[in-house]
Amino acid sequence: MSFLHFLLHFTIFLLLFREIFSFPSNQTLFLPLRKTHGGHRPLSTYAVSAATNRLAFHHNVTLTVSLTVGSPPQDVTMVLDTGSELSWLHCKKTPNLNSVFTPQVSKSYKPVPCGSPVCKTRTRDLPVPASCDPNNKLCHVAVSYADASSIEGNLAHENFVIGSSTQPGFLFGCMDSGYSSNSEEDSKTTGLMGMNRGSLSFVSQMGFPKFSYCISGFDSSGVLLLGDARFSWLGELNYTPLIQISDPLPYYDRVAYTVQLEGIKVGNKILDLPRSAFVPDHTGAGQTMVDSGTQFTFLMGPVYTALRNEFLQQTRRVLQVYNDPNFVFQGAMDLCYRVMGLSRPSFSNLPRVSLMFQGAEMSVSGERLLYRVPDMNKGSDSVYCFTFGNSDLLGIEAFVIGHHHQQNVWMEFDLVKSRVGFAEIRCDLAGQKLGIGPLGPHKKRM
């Protein structure tokens, strides 16, 4: 979770094909996606390696999973984030929290003592090493994020229940203090579910060989899939390898989904940049992370400047720059435009921006290139900003590929073969092919 206030929002509901199931590596979970726009899917033939189960979720600005935890079960909602490892829940009621987990009433809750091998070995991938809480002699964990948010508490075992399946002994953080830079948004959820490659992440503890998601940019549909599956209608994915560096480096996240960005193309023109501009340096600064927890895409300063200048050059006749040197959207997006009219315009005539990875390419076009700034109008005009930002302005020493540019792209994270696959597809149609029809903005799935 690179930026807590840039999160995608999903809510997961369970529809089961079997009464009881476990999570072996050859089993697949399907999760239909319902997208709702706030402030920030007739069956076709498909084959899976085992029985399938389906869930549903939606998103606007943050991404949440609905499930139950504890014995007896307590309903919780957790932000689903591929940029984080530790899953955690708020365990202390405060006036600004609408939902907390109460461990005192759960028979299956087991805190982890300081001296437990779990405290010393399973927490090795966390950015902040686990410590011993002197008050209760429990394994103390703390997490901080790039937007200055932080949370801390104790590591514990608990039963996590998804539908009718129980995962006993799941390791998570039971958090009792912290600071949020966006407390209003954070108060809507109980905690966070980490999905990166660390040993404590949700996907690692559950043992899934891969997971995929497809976020619709057309309507309120989409799909999240946990496990392995093959679809005749999806076509071939283009894969890029996950980059792994074993040596610890100060600015390198070793458990992130890191790929190698090799170049950027605007229209048919490849930016004139050396390969070294995209390669991490000796400190680890400059890695490229695929992160569903970040809304937009952020590029290191020199690369961002080159992209900004070329996009300006190619759009000077079709877009009117918003000339306010004091306005920077979300702290890092300083290329904005004044667009005539308040209705939703078409940006189909804009040049496509292609992110060129080793063996794969992700293209951003049309409406995904510009984002309307909420509640900001100039007379009868709207203000739109370029959906690539300058990571230097945020103090982030990395390239981050956010979820906005992953819309209408089938994203597969193959943990066994250590690679990420891309395929452009209408994600609303993908949901329909999986028997998950789109949900209108005023409909609810029970």
Dist. CA 289–CA 205, nearest whole Å:
21
Dist. CA 42–CA 431, nearest whole Å:
10
pLDDT score at 219: 62
Per DSSP, the three-state class of 210 is strand
Residue 433 has pLDDT above 60, yes or no: yes
Is 381 one of the annotated active-site residues of the chain? no
pLDDT score at 296: 92
Dist. CA 231–CA 434, nearest whole Å:
9
pLDDT score at 237: 94
pLDDT category at 8 given cuts 50, 70, 90 is: very low
CATH topology of domain 4-232: Cathepsin D, subunit A; domain 1 (2.40.70)
Q: What percentage of the chain has pLDDT greater than the value 90?
A: 47
* The dihedral sign for the CA sequence 56, 60, 63, 64: negative
350: nearest Cα among 322, 383, 313, 377: 313
**Range of 9-23, 170-184, 261-275, 370-384 with top mean pLDDT:** 261-275
Is 291 one of the annotated active-site residues of the chain? yes
Residue 311, φ and ψ in degrees, nearest 5: -65, -40
pLDDT per position as a tens digit, 290-312: 998 888 999 999 999 999 999 99
pLDDT score at 19: 27
Query: The whole model's pTM is what?
Result: 0.82
* Residue 167, beta-bridge partner list: 160
Dist. CA 247–CA 236, nearest whole Å:
34
298: nearest Cα among 271, 254, 267, 329: 329
What is the average per-residue pLDDT within 107-123? 94
Dist. CA 201–CA 190, nearest whole Å:
17
Dist. CA 121–CA 101, nearest whole Å:
26
Residue 50 has pLDDT above 50, yes or no: no
238-424 in CATH: which number?
2.40.70.10
pLDDT score at 27: 56
* Two structure tokens written together for 96: 């600004």
Pick the catalytic residue: 228, 291, 414, 428? 291
CATH 2.40.70.10 domain extents, the chain: 4-232, 238-424
Residue 136, φ and ψ in degrees, nearest 5: -130, 5
Pick the catalytic residue: 81, 186, 228, 428? 81
pLDDT score at 334: 93
